[in-house]
Structure 1
Amino acid sequence: METLTDFSQSLALTEYIANAKRKKEVTIIASILLSAILAMTFWCVVNWYIFHSKEAKRKAQLTHMFYIEPVGGEEDDQEVQLFNISTISAATNNFSQANKIGEGGFGPVYQGRLPDGQNIAVKRLSQNSYQGLQEFKNEVTLIAQLQHRNLVKLLGCCIQGEERMLVYEYMPNKSLDQFIFDEARKILLPWEKRFGILKGVSKGLNYLHHESILRIIHRDLKASNVLLDDEMNPKISDFGLARIFENEREETTRRVIGTHGYMSPEYVMDGHYSIKSDVYSFGVLAIEIISGQKNWGFHHPDHELNLLGHAWTLWNEGRALELIDPVLEESSNDTKVSRCIQVGLLCVQHRAEERPTMSEVVSMLQDECGILVEPGEPGFFSGRSFRWTGPASWDCNNHSVNGLTVTTLTGRL
């Protein structure tokens, strides 16, 4: 028969076993919880590391993408600012139509305001843009190196996922074409303002060709790529098609990209471009500024000539002043106007070697008493609309987007 002592010992043993089980269960549960916590912590640390490694790699790639080795031993920081897409989205009110101020070959352009109050213009690469990452990189890497009062200032860029955006200083008066080709607004640009714009654009091009650390051919100078600040001072924009050149020789390309009416004959016909290609474009722009008419699509009831041909005819007949925009008649200076027409015609001469350099153009516009030579025949002046008619052995695949023409030449080049 079990005694009381044996019962007590049995009860104590049972409690001991139960306590041991509870301790083991607690230990197991604690171990599981601790393992889970450690696993979660490890997972968080790994993901944090992966995320920041990817972000660091992305920034490193962008830095490499948009960094140009300083020219001439310069050690200044040449990197552009990288904007987060959320910052740009907030600045432009989520890219609202109310903030849209224009559209070009690159894509739509929006006005925005950064948190510090600075006004910006944002160019957003559209999905159907003819321009791609190469043009995007080209514009960033080139303009980041340039500092001149007549060149638009690039503040930075944004590249996240499929998004490609360029962030510029905001130019409140937008582009020159919205004034000189608008019957209601062209009166806001009297002669002295237009003359100042001509001189400013010439100085900006001269800087690109002869004075900047990178010698650059713009290749797409036109009225819509000349922006105006709050005082109507001009700034050249859009460097997506620009090219660096190291000497005065002519370069050749199979891919001719430019805007109808502004491209030089040698570039359109043969794919040859040089600083004289920009000079030709400047000459067209000068005639347009003076006349208030577009070269491409110009119509005159008495002949089939385009604007350049019309200007050259008037010059040869001693009636050059008839070219002037009627709204300028009261504000213009006949001597200055005649000289600017002559400079414009010298710039659009058919043969590239006969055109002046931009440094010579700047001198011509500043020295109002200097003697100028007589201009020769302009390029592309004989008809209202030029159509490329190269040799049959060549292929010409041509398409146009927002005034820009992309032509691929194959054969002799």
Structure 2
Amino acid sequence: MDTEHSPGGPLSEAVQQALAGVMDPELRRPITELGMVESVIVSAEGHVDLAVLLTIAGCPLRDTITKDSERALLAVPGVTGVTVTLNVMDQAQRDALKEKLRGAGGQRGIPFNEPDSLTKVFAVASGKGGVGKSSVTVNLACSLAAQGLRVGIVDADVYGFSVPGLMGITQTPTRVDDMILPPVAYGVKVISIGMFVTGNQPVAWRGPMLHRALEQFLTDVYFGDLDVLFLDLPPGTGDIAISVAQLLPTAEILVVTTPQAAAADVAERAGAIATQTGQKVAGVIENMSYLEMPDGGRMELFGSGGGAVLTQRLSAAVGTTVPLLGQIPLDIQLREGGDTGVPIVIGQPGTPAAAALSGIAGSLAAKPRGLAGLKLGLQPR
């Protein structure tokens, strides 16, 4: 990064500090740290000429980077004007960026399987469709991000992808050679097969294609250092569930059900797969538990007790206590938020459904990451 200092040295220093606060909207790291600032020239009159290097020529968030840079610099006392010029990284600069992000050689792999990874990985499963699994996933992720955690979602429901719509994402991922940068909404990084198909085109793939797609999401997509990663699984115990167990053996299973006995029966299979894969069941979430009436009463449209029964059965099946993490009431605003792409925990945080979802998110955030296999950096004396 080249800087031409004006006679007022402190102004140039303040400009540098301001730029250090400008984040790349996809990588969520300062543009100064990523080598994206090509040059900064501060004139004696206080005008700043900033040249920024984009990762690719067609960067979809070029306007965001320009506006964020202008806003940060114009807030510096003494800056009278800002001109931002956008250029594009050459291959050597892109290689340097990938090495900075991925480590020496820019090697590929599943970072969440590294011995020193502290990312909590939750695979959100259900025995059948229609229980609100994707809505629960999106709201849990957004709630955790609102708490300041670094969160990502892999929409692993390849046939029935819905996460981009639930989060209002229309942007396509940015490709930097073989590295894919996931779009970000509400502080959550998201990748979905829906971002790569045209319109409402169906995806008709057999098992090996599904496995390869999930593997590519986990290896080629750069999520960075996440605190929590959610995988929104398709219903049932098919190819994707098996692939998740193979590709992310430390992922814990979250089972979503409704109070209905029939739904709990089917959901039991989705959780009991842990006995075959060696995974842990993090807990059960009961969705659509009841409808709050104007008089304060509750109408249990789908019966009651399904979540509690499911926890008992899964606890017996896996040999450890499986908790009921929460019960989410029916709320028309939860559905409306999904239709408009504004999750209820963001758009209507004061509603009972949002409170229940935030409570579940809080319990997941409090879960400790197991230390098995981690390098603690301790040396014997």
TM-score range, shorter chain: under 0.3
Higher relative contact order (CA 8 A, sep 6+): 2
Higher helix share: 1
Pick the structure with greater CA Rg.
Answer: 1
Under a length normalisation based on structure 2, what TM-score does the superposition of the two structures give?
Answer: 0.26
